Amino acid sequence: MFFPLLLAAALSFTGRNAASAYDYARDLTENHSPRDAGTVRGRLAANWLLDTASSAGLDVRRDAFWADTPFGRRNMVNLTAEFKVGNDAEWVVLVSHYDTKPGTGCPGANDGASTTGLLIALGEMLQTWHGDKLPSCNVMFVWTDGEESMKAYGPDDGLWGARHAAQTLRRRGLKVKAVIVLDMLGDDDLAITVPGNCDESLAKMALKAGKRCGVKVSRLESKVTDDHVPFAEAGFPAIDLIDFEYPHWHTPEDTMQHVSERSLEQSGTLIAAMLDELLK
C-alpha cells in the first residue's frame, strides 16, 4: 500500500481511532481467547486478524513459520502490513504480539489484544496521513505470534515471532530506523514505561514525544524480556513501550473490563507523536 497524497498537518490519533482500537481488541478477546501460539485457536486468531486488518484497508500478509518449542515443532503465524514511500527509504517498524500465555486461561485482553487493536487503528490513522509532503520513511506493522513463553524464556522458548521477523528484516537487507514494540498499553490504570534495555535515543524520543503530547512516559531501570529483544540482538534500534504494572497479568482476569478506550487513546497519541518525529 502507498501513502495517499496529502494536505496540511501530519498525524493525529483521534477519539474515533481509540474507539476503533477498543472494538478490535474486544472482538479479538471475546471471540478468540485463548489463542496460544501453534494451536488451532491461535491460527483462527491469525485468520481473524488477516480479515479484520484487511477490512480496515491494510495490505496484510500472512507469514507462517516453524518454531522449535519445549513441546516440539509448532507452526506459527506473523502478520505484516507495509506502508511504502519508496524502495530505498528507511523503515519504521511497529510491533504487537497477539498470542496468549499458554496454560493460564488468560484471555489476553490487555496482554495481546489491546495493542493488536491499537495497531489496526494506527493503520487506519496512517491511511489518513495529512502531511504537506510524503513521510520520509516506510512503515511496517508486525503482529507477532509466540511472544509468550511456554515454560520459561530462553533461546527455544518465547519471542519466536519477533525472532522470525527480525531475521526476515535482515534477510531482506532493509534499513531500519526504529522498531517500536507495544505491549499492554490498554490498561485502564495506564503507566507507560520504557525498560532499561531499550535504544537510548529512541528512549529519549519517547519521553520527549510524551511531553509534547501530554502523555506520561517514565523510564524503568530494570530490563524487560519482550519482543524488542530479538530486534535489538539483530542490530536494529528497538524500544519497548509497556505498562508492566498490571495486577491481572497472565490471569483469567485479564479481560476487557480492565482495558479502557481512554488509555488506548493516550497510547495511540504517544505513538502518533513518535511517528511524527520519525517520519518527518
Binding site for Zn ion (CB under 5 A): 101, 111
Strand runs labelled E in 34-137: 60-69, 72-83, 91-97
Phi-psi region of 235 (alpha: psi -120 to 50; beta: other; left: phi over 0): left
Nearest to 169 by CA among 142, 198, 197, 201: 142
Cα 117 to Cα 62: distance, rounded to the nearest angstrom: 17
Smaller CB separation from Zn ion, 239 or 275: 239
- Give the CB-nearest residue to Zn ion: 111
Query: CB-wise, 96 or 269, nearer to Zn ion?
Result: 96
Query: CB of residue 209 vs Zn ion: minimum separation in angstroms?
Result: 25
Q: How far is the CB of 149 from Zn ion (least distance, A)?
A: 9
Smallest gap from Cβ 74 to Zn ion, in A, equals 17
What is the closest distance, in whole angstroms, from the C-beta atom of residue 226 to Zn ion in the complex? Answer: 9
Closer to Zn ion at the Cβ: 108 or 210?
108
Apex 47 CA angle, 45 and 52, nearest 5: 95
Nearest CA-CA partner of 184 in 105, 240, 222, 262: 240
CB 150 within 8 A of CB 102: yes
111 or 199: whose CB is closer to Zn ion?
111
Q: Which is nearer to Zn ion, 51 or 245 (CB)?
A: 245
The secondary element (H helix, E strand) that includes residue 251 is: none
Q: Are 127 and 215 in contact (CB under 8 A)?
A: no
Instruction: Tell me the C-alpha distance between 215 and 219, whole Å.
Output: 13
Least separation, in Å, of the C-beta of 203 and Zn ion? 22
Q: How far is the CB of 258 from Zn ion (least distance, A)?
A: 14
CB of 74 or CB of 248, closer to Zn ion: 248
Q: What is the DSSP string of 26-60?
A: HHHHHHS----TTSHHHHHHHHHHHHHHHHTT--E
Q: Which is nearer to Zn ion, 37 or 126 (CB)?
A: 37
Q: What residues have CB less than 8 Å from 154, skipping those under 6 apart? A: none
Shortest Cβ 67–Zn ion spacing (Å): 17
